[in-house]
A and B are shown apart, each in its own frame.
Chain A
Amino acid sequence: MTCAPPPDAAAARGLSIRYPYAQADALGPLDFTVETGERVLLLGPSGCGKSTVLHALTGLLPSAIPATRTGRLQLFGADVDTRSPAEWADRVAFLFQDVEQTLVGFTVADEVAFALENRAHPPHTMAAAVAEAMTRARLPENWHARRIATLSGGQKQLVALAATLAQGGDLVIADEPTASLAPHAAHLLAECILAPGRTALIVDHRLGPLLDRIDRVVVLAPSGRLLVEGSVDKVFAHHGATLVAEGIWTPAAVRLRQKLQDAGHPIPPLWRVEDLAAHLPPGLDLAPFLLPPPCTPGPEVVRLEHADCAPPFGPVVLRDISLSLHAGQVLGIMGPNGAGKSTLAACLAGLAPPKAGLRQGPPGALAFQNPEAHFSTDSPRAELALLGLAPDRIARALGDWGLSAQADQHPFTLSMGQKRRLALALLTETDRWPVLILDEPTAGLDLRGAAHVAACLRALAQAGRALAVITHDADFALSVCDRVVVLAEGGIAAEGRASTILGDSAVLHSVGLAPPEVAPLLHRTTLVRC
């Protein structure tokens, strides 16, 4: 007698989804499965429908998010519509992308207990279950009664992880869970939800901590159809070029291999930096592939001298900051959550004058993390017209920023990449601001979007603007920044040439930052940078 194999944790056959008023399907038709005990990574470019798949899995779409779904979708062998999304919560745990907006409890214990309460878990064992989940997520015991509102973004993500662990579903669905986590926390999260034997479907751009724990990768094309699927090795080593061409995030080694191939240096299929190092042509200088082109710094444009920086009408968070921005140079601002990066940006831009010390230089522009903060009219065309541009110049700007097709669409209805491009266009299509500071400009963007932002930054620097970029992404910083400043504990922890700072793992680890994936190759860069 043989036991029947367990049903697939999730299975889709001919799944298509169309949002109201859309002319085309947002997704599909798509066939895929997540077998019980399998850990699947779902990848694809922005707007291909990754989050749509996750929302459809437990029926949130179309029950809570209006859309039309066709095709068959099953969870654990049963049609997803046989139960409500809330009822599926006993088997499926969902870790959302934006924990800031999805945590429900007032205290940490409330949050961790929430799903257990909804399942009518016996009260007398609930406290123990909450404590156990908190221990597994390495949350301090005294956080039990701590208010959620007092936690940083990364800490909230860990609380959300503890809540997911307490929920204990048979399938874990996670939408970009490592986005705002410090490196050690991202590894812990991967360890917890991608432990061997667990069933998980995860969407993430930050691949480093995940790939060793992934059994299969499913990649969606921009159309929302299946592009390629298979093991990590098969997808990244053998289809890396396709993924890069489609603007899909890949390990840094895949992108570098592609650049080397394009430059006439053939490298065998691989996806790990360590493997790449072994196949590099001897004596090859990697600087042109990893670092921005050399530049000659122009005159100083903005200077902070012994400045105490504070957010508008808030307390001082950075003390004794001395820093300058030069024309034609890009400064990277890095640091752990809560280090004061946005405060420094506001101070550099002149939006929050220092409480003590001095700021010298013209007013600058700050591209906010939420690009919607920049919009005040009902279309990209009208936004650009507000700058006083002539109609032909507006048309050209819309074309340059890839927004011609959306010229008359309401800015709030654009995709994240389009919103970010519009915000940048509004700040750069005028000569008003010689200083430009961008706060996390690649957040929510796919590889193509991030590459576009990087190219824009370098072009603006070449045109003589002084630029600063706040980013968590060390590989992005390495590719666009000439200098980097690392903030920690209310001051500057390190400052210097980007390749020097980002190649110093000890400095980065000491402030809880991850070095770039290509850090082991930085010794192969020889050009002198500005």
Chain B
Amino acid sequence: MLSRLHPLPKLALCLIWIGASLLVFDLQFQLAALALAFFLLWGVERIALWKLLALMVPFALFGFGFLTTSVLFQRDSGYAVQMAREQGALKADLSPGLVLFTRVLACGMISALFALTTDAGRLVRALMHHLRLPAPVGFAILQAMHLVPDLCREMQSLRMARAMRQGQGLRRIPRPNELMALVIPLLAFAIRRATRAAIAMEARGLHPGSRRSQLPQPGMTPLDFVASACGLLILFIVLHLI
């Protein structure tokens, strides 16, 4: 259902929640934001649990740094922890590191909520259409999205050729030295591909600064307004309750 929403109001709502998460230094609020984003992704969008947990790993590692710093080195706690104490919103029995930890997780889960329920092409189109993102920039972003699977295919060929030469099996995760050896050929491939794409765009009339129109895009629907209002209402209620 969230995938059907217009990307721009969804982006605005997610940014508001992330902003609130950054400003409100309260464990309950962070847990509520985390739980809500998790519920929407797992319960509503039916995203696999393992995928959500895997997505949270980098955020958890980052947040864990705050937690350990706060718990193990209270005197030497970092700037963020110090600022948290000065905000005065912290209850005495709770470690500020725990709040920072959950805040990172909440922000990460809200970001994942947006990324996993938004069509990247539609987002770029909406940015070009409504927020005047320059067309060359917009189409360059779309090209970058096309490049990723192409690079993966090219890397697969390069790895197979190397494995064949060396008489070894193909490892699922390449070793660091293998990755280093792939950098130059992949870079050459990416540059060549980007050059061809740029030439094709120019040949088909894309010119910086020239006037251009836009293929009409699906606009906002009542569902977008309802969803945005609900998101804001829930935020207000949560803020009121803590």
Contact = CB atoms under 8 A, between A and B. Distances in A.
A109 B214 CA distance: 11
A120 B216 contact: no
Interface stretch (A264-272, A288-296, A369-377, A462-470): A369-377
Contacts, number: 155
Interface stretch (B35-43, B50-58, B84-92, B137-145): B137-145
A126 B185 CA distance: 41
Interface stretch (B15-23, B109-117, B197-205): B197-205
A313 B215 contact: no
Contacts of B198: 64
Contacts of B32: none
A164 B204 CA distance: 9
Contact of A64 (B139, B170, B202, B211): B202
A125 B197 CA distance: 27
Nearest to B208: A86
Contacts of A104: 139, 142-143, 197, 200-201, 204, 206
A118 interface: yes
Contacts of A100: 150
Contacts of A351: 160, 163-164, 170
Contact of A109 (B203, B212, B215): B215
Interface in B174-228: 181, 185, 188-189, 193, 196-207, 210-216
Contacts of B122: 106
Contact of A118 (B145, B165, B197, B206): B206
B212 to A, nearest CB: 5
Contacts of B160: 312, 346, 351, 366, 368, 373
Contacts of A119: 205, 212
A89 B203 contact: yes
A120 B203 contact: no
Contact of B206 (A86, A110, A120, A149): A86
Contacts of B181: 376
B154 interface: yes
Q: Chain A at the B interface: mostly helix, strand, loop or mixed? A: mixed
Contacts of A101: 150, 193, 196-197, 200
B124 interface: yes
A60 B146 contact: no
Interface stretch (A90-98, A178-186, A276-284): A90-98
Given A60-B203, A89-B203, A147-B121, A122 B172 contact: no
A290 to B, nearest CB: 33
Given A110-B121, A351-B160, A86 B213 contact: no
A329 interface: no
Interface in B60-107: none
B232 interface: no
Interface in A347-366: 349, 351-352, 363, 365-366
A167 B120 CA distance: 25
Interface residues of A, number: 66
A311 B215 contact: no
B191 to A, nearest CB: 11
A102 B142 contact: no
A90 B216 CA distance: 21
A105 interface: yes
Nearest to B149: A149
A70 to B, nearest CB: 22
Contacts of A117: 135, 212-215
Interface in B124-155: 124-125, 135, 139, 142-143, 145-146, 149-150, 154
B169 to A, nearest CB: 8
Given A106-B125, A123-B214, A123-B215, A64 B199 contact: yes
A85 B196 contact: no
Contact of B157 (A87, A115, A370): A370
Q: Chain B at the A interface: mostly helix, strand, loop or mixed? A: helix
A50 to B, nearest CB: 16
A39 to B, nearest CB: 20
Contacts of B163: 351
Contact of A366 (B162, B164, B202, B215): B164
A423 to B, nearest CB: 9
Contact of A65 (B125, B199, B207): B199
Interface string A128-172: 001000000000000000011100000000000001000100000
B31 interface: no
A302 to B, nearest CB: 15
B158 interface: yes
B46 to A, nearest CB: 20
A330 B147 CA distance: 35
Contacts of B172: 313
Contacts of A372: 185, 188-189
B161 interface: yes
Contacts of A199: none
Contact of A312 (B156, B188, B200, B211): B156
A284 B215 CA distance: 62
Contacts of A312: 156, 159-160, 170
Interface string A50-91: 000001001010001100000000000000000011110110
Contacts of A311: 156
A96 to B, nearest CB: 5
Interface of A: 55, 58, 60, 64-65, 84-87, 89-90, 93-94, 96, 98, 100-107, 109-110, 113-124, 126-127, 130, 147-149, 163, 167, 311-313, 346, 349, 351-352, 363, 365-366, 368-370, 372-376, 386, 412, 432
Given A104-B206, A118-B207, A373-B185, 19 more contacts: A55-B199, A64-B198, A87-B207, A93-B204, A94-B203, A104-B143, A104-B197, A104-B204, A118-B205, A118-B212, A123-B214, A163-B204, A311-B156, A346-B160, A363-B164, A370-B154, A373-B154, A376-B162, A376-B165
22 contacts: A60-B199, A86-B207, A86-B210, A90-B205, A96-B203, A102-B199, A104-B197, A110-B142, A116-B213, A116-B215, A117-B213, A119-B212, A121-B213, A122-B213, A351-B164, A369-B157, A370-B154, A372-B188, A373-B161, A373-B185, A376-B165, A412-B188
Interface of B: 120-122, 124-125, 135, 139, 142-143, 145-146, 149-150, 154, 156-165, 167, 170, 172, 181, 185, 188-189, 193, 196-207, 210-216
4 smallest CB-CB distances across A and B, nearest first, come from A106-B121, A89-B205, A118-B205, A102-B200
